[in-house]
Amino acid sequence: MAVLVGKKAPDFSAQAVINGGEFVQNYTLEQFKGKKYVVLFFYPKDFTFVCPTELFAFQSKLAEFEKRNVQVVAVSTDTEQSHWGWLQMAKNEGGIKGVTYPLVADTNKTISKNYDVLTGDYFLDDNDQLQADTELIAYRGLFLIDLEGVVRHQLVNDLPLGRSVDETLRMVDALQFTEEHGEACPANWNSDKEGLKATHEGIADYLTKN
């Protein structure tokens, strides 16, 4: 699994559905550089089970992300038409109607591959026929990208393991705190706690008080 932390986030140009039903061509990350932080998260499939719980969880905290100048963007290997259809279905029918942040269609699987969250790969068999070693969908990858377009945090879960949106917000707070104050964030830090000065005196003082 590639570690992208500290590296420029791979950009892309893809079809997307925004605002719960508008098709957009050539959706990119570059549009946010210098303007917004980005939480880019991958999910395996439309019309499934764990995925809508995550999509709604991000939607329920969307105002909190927006307060922090963060753009939430979701990606799966489904088509933009599949995204649109799922977005039109009510929650009690298994749909995700009410989700308003962008859903990107990684139909050629290059975005998932560039972020190294694709579950498998292609290979040539003994007859030189192209095969796949498993179903090619995305793991539950999540990437926090700063204003300069650099990945500062990443998380990759296996398919049945849903993510914590509150933890994602905590990481956004931690990143913005370190940028503003020049201090580190110790274990279990949250926004109502003090930071850590990265010196011998700083760590001694922090450990003594905590």
By three-state DSSP, how is residue 178 classified?
Answer: helix
CA distance 145 to 169: 13
Q: Which of 29, 51, 96, 196 is catalytic?
A: 51
Specify whether the CB–CB gap between 76 and 41 falls below 8 A: no
- Looking only at the bridges linking them, the beta strands covering 37-42 and 70-76 are parallel
Is 185 one of the catalytic residues? Answer: no
- Looking only at the bridges linking them, the beta strands covering 103-105 and 70-76 are parallel
Q: How far apart are the first and last CA of the chain?
A: 35
Q: Which residues are catalytic?
A: 51
